[in-house]
């Protein structure tokens, strides 16, 4: 509330969303629905035009977006995060002291902590806030946030977090905890996608009807969220990228690298990573991550729906 001449009015909070991809787009629309003044930042002019049609304000870089109460960062990796925060047209060029930055990027915990330290040194507040749930839940404002950071930052960003999420797990005050938990989630997600591809490819090799197999397994003990979500992509031969193969090359690369540093053994992650890497090397990197099934199908000399020939 802001007092004006003895009266009080509610000031509209301002949120910037950097990166209007699958998750960032949904978060930005959820913030608009919640009554925020939302500034969307993206390098794609068509996406910016679409965001303006939704009622948001569109900017080609973070610096030109100006000040906001909270800034969500939804870019792809740590290199992009560093650029949009500290680059020549980065957010720090125009951010006011005390702004809460929510780092929603899936990146190595060490990278998250380094960026957070630089933001804190510049007078900003930071929440390590990787997310999960996919583009559908993002559009509904129902993502899961695995968050860590100081209480003051959470208090300041509470309304914004409520707008975009169904559940916020507060994992502690130490930045990096959120990224560590997200890493565990991505381990399971990547392995489950690879397992889904393997299962449905085996079903095809055995001459089974893929739709029937999917319908049976999704209500049986062998199912998983990823099987239920990605299985239809393989059954329908629809590899329109909701989340691309390249994303899991990055994410499982983080898993295996961090596991090695911790002295942990991750053989299933390593096997899944090798499959995703092979898919990328075969030119499938920008297709839906379920396209790893094509690699397994080619090895078995079978054709899945959506494969040529």
Residues noted as catalytic: 182
Q: Go through the chain and tell me how many residues it has.
A: 309
Contacts of 44 (CB under 8 A, 6+ apart): 20
Contacts of 221 (CB under 8 A, 6+ apart): none
Query: By the 8 A CB rule, do 98 and 124 touch?
Result: yes
207 sits in the region (left: phi over 0; alpha: psi -120 to 50; else beta) called left
Query: By the 8 A CB rule, do 107 and 182 touch?
Result: no
Q: For 84, phi and psi rounded to 5 degrees?
A: -75, -15
Run of H or E including 73: strand 70-73
CA distances from 81 to 116, 168, 230, 250, 281 (A): 11, 22, 28, 14, 25
As a whole number of angstroms, the distance between CA 29 and CA 72 comes to 13
Query: By the 8 A CB rule, do 142 and 131 touch?
Result: no
Taking the mean position of all CA atoms in its chain, how far away is CA 7? 42
CA distances from 11 to 14, 38, 57, 135 (A): 9, 14, 18, 30
Q: For 286, phi and psi rounded to 5 degrees?
A: -95, 0
């Amino acid at each position: 509330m802001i007092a004006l001449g003895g009266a009080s009015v509610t000031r509209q909070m301002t949120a910037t969303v950097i990166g209007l991809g699958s998750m960032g787009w949904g978060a930005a629309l959820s913030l608009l629905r919640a009554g925020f003044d939302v500034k969307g930042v993206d390098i794609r002019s068509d996406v910016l035009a679409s965001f303006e049609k939704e009622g948001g304000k569109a900017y080609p870089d973070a610096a030109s977006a100006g000040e906001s109460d909270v800034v969500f960062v939804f870019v792809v990796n740590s290199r992009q995060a560093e650029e949009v925060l500290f680059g020549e047209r980065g957010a720090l060029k125009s951010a006011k002291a005390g702004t809460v930055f929510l780092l929603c990027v899936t990146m190595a915990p060490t990278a998250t902590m380094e960026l957070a330290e630089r933001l804190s040194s510049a007078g900003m507040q930071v929440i390590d806030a990787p997310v999960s749930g996919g583009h559908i839940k993002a559009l509904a404002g129902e993502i899961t946030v695995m968050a860590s950071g100081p209480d003051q930052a959470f208090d300041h960003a509470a309304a914004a977090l409520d707008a975009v999420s169904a559940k916020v797990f507060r994992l502690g005050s130490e930045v990096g905890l959120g990224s560590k938990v997200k890493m565990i989630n991505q381990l399971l997600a990547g392995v489950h996608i690879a397992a889904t591809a393997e299962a449905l490819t085996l079903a095809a090799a055995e001459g089974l009807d893929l739709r029937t197999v999917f319908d049976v397994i999704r209500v049986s003990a062998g199912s998983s969220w990823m099987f239920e979500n990605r299985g239809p992509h393989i059954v329908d031969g629809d590899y329109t990228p909701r989340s691309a193969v390249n994303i899991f090359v990055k994410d499982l690369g983080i898993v295996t690298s961090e596991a090695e540093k911790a002295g942990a053994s991750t053989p299933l992650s390593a096997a899944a990573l090798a499959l995703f890497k092979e898919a990328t090397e075969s030119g499938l990197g920008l297709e839906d991550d379920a396209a790893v099934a094509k690699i397994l199908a080619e090895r078995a000399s079978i054709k899945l729906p959506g494969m040529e020939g």
